[in-house]
Amino acid sequence: MTRAVDLLGPERAGLRRAARLAVVAGLLWLPMAWLAAQALAGMIRGDMPAAWPIAGFAVLWGLQAALTHLADARAQDLALAALGRVRGEVLARAHRQARLPSAGGFASLIGDQLEMLRPFAARFLTVEMRVRVLPLAIVAAAFSVSWVAGLVLLVTGPVIPVFMALIGQAAERVSRAQLHEMGTMSSELAERVAALPDIRLLGTRAVLVAGFDAAAGRLRQRTMRVLGIAFLSSTVLELFAAIGVAMLAIYCGFSLLGVIGFGMWGAPMTPEQGLFLLLLAPEFFQPLRDLATVWHARAAADALALGLEEDARTGAASGEILGTGACMAPLTGVLALRGVMRHGILYPDLEIAPHESVALCGPSGAGKTTLLRLIAGLERPDQGEITLDGHPLDGALADHWRAALGWMPQVPHFLDASLEDNLRMGRGGDLAGALAASAAAPLVAALPRGLAQHLGENGSGVSGGEARRLTLARALHGGARIILADEPTADLDAQTAAQVGSGLVAAHRKGRG
């Protein structure tokens, strides 16, 4: 069982039903080949072909086309459903993670890499079922006519899956390496774009371009290795398929000429029997050809499944955000930390009252940001306990607790939406009061479009201090009863730092913690 099949989940049953339809359509070729042999043999003898073989062939051909179309359409729909579901699961898992993945690598995973699941889902189960059923049925039909013809197919056919399995092991390895290079290159591109101003100021364009060119070269090499293995598998398949068809054609031809007198079950071979065998031979190898075309898709999907498993383990190691993120009634109380440890850092025991003002001091790397994330329920402690009025801060309380919090991050971040949407974040309340309290009202008034202005991800169009004041307004808005501010005045000039500090002190005087 391939790893990627597990990704199909609830769609697997529907895909198997579609595969059964495709198998039935394939089995129809047996009576169709017999009818075609009857009509062609009559033409070879110089007789007018009977109408019933032609009519029967036309009816079966229409039925086969309808079943094939129905199976393919159903498989494509279910493949799209599986892709959407897996993509949603990956996004939901990232949403729950305490530490978000790299933006570039995650975008590559969601966009390009997950797309590799669709061709696998749409075709692999169908091809796998056809390979298991159709060649055996055709071999049985060939044996019913000639034991030599059946033996030829029986000898040449199994060699192909053996070689495909050996090639598949290498294909999975190179596919995994290719996916890794795709994610790495996407991450590097995102980092380079974010650092363009610094790159220009430092004059390091040539060095960074050379590094990116080297990364592109590695990806190109990985891709060519994947394509090379795909061509190798096709070459092996076509070689043995050609040998099998040629051997059967030679046997049938010499048997009809009377040169070969063995291999039949008694009477000499008739034109109907020879044509029937020749029409069966290509269809015997067709499912194996289809297997070759999806073998690379299977290897890529397996590599994707393994990568998703590793990402899930990495996400589990980083921890999950408490709660579901649902909108809840705010809840406050005495927050207590007892024996809390995270990432090897043991934090002091604390008790913080709802309206208390507390400063967390320490050098860079001491764990101040992590402690704020622990208090906010964005991470779980490795050891110890965080309680709210004596109750553990767990998934049941986290959403209520966060509804009372205002978050001011160390690095400002804005969504691709209007400034008003970024400040409100879907909450009602007095936005003008929050802007006044953070000394950001004049800043908004000076923007060309005011609250309708779109800022870049990091606040393009405003200075660092102005972006800090806007994040303070966002933290104050909505009636937040407790504000968690991560180095709110870092890297600011004295005047801007004083404005931000005054806004926080004023909020505290109004009863906010």
Bridge partners, residue 406, by sequence? 483
C-alpha 129: how far from chain center: 25
C-alpha 18: how far from chain center: 23
Is the model's pLDDT at 20 over the cut of 90? yes
Is the model's pLDDT at 425 over the cut of 80? yes
Is the model's pLDDT at 451 over the cut of 90? no
In this predicted structure, what is the pLDDT of residue 163? 60
Mean pLDDT value of segment 489-509: 82
For 136-181, write each residue's pLDDT tens digit: 999 999 999 999 988 888 887 776 666 665 555 555 566 666 666 6
What superfamily in CATH does domain 335-509 come from?
A: P-loop containing nucleotide triphosphate hydrolases (3.40.50.300)
State pTM to two decimals: 0.64
Mean pLDDT taken over the chain: 81
What are the residue boundaries of the structural domains of the chain, listed by start? 8-318, 335-509
What is the fold of 8-318? ABC transporter transmembrane region fold (1.20.1560)
Mean pLDDT value of segment 117-121: 86
For 352-389, write each residue's pLDDT tens digit: 888 889 998 888 888 898 899 888 888 888 899 999 88
Is the model's pLDDT at 319 over the cut of 70? no
For residue 278, which of 314, 250, 315, 259 has the smallest C-alpha distance? 250
Mean pLDDT value of segment 411-427: 83
C-alpha 80: how far from chain center: 12
In this predicted structure, what is the pLDDT of residue 177? 67
For 26-63, write each residue's pLDDT tens digit: 999 999 999 999 888 888 877 776 788 889 999 999 99
Of residues 175 and 116, more confidence is placed in 116
Q: Which two tokens stand for residue 478?
A: 């909505």
For 394-406, write each residue's pLDDT tens digit: 878 888 888 888 8
Residues 6+ apart with CB under 8 A from 362: 368
For 189-226, write each residue's pLDDT tens digit: 766 766 666 666 666 667 777 777 777 787 777 777 76
CA-derived radius of gyration, the chain: 34
Mean pLDDT value of segment 298-324: 70
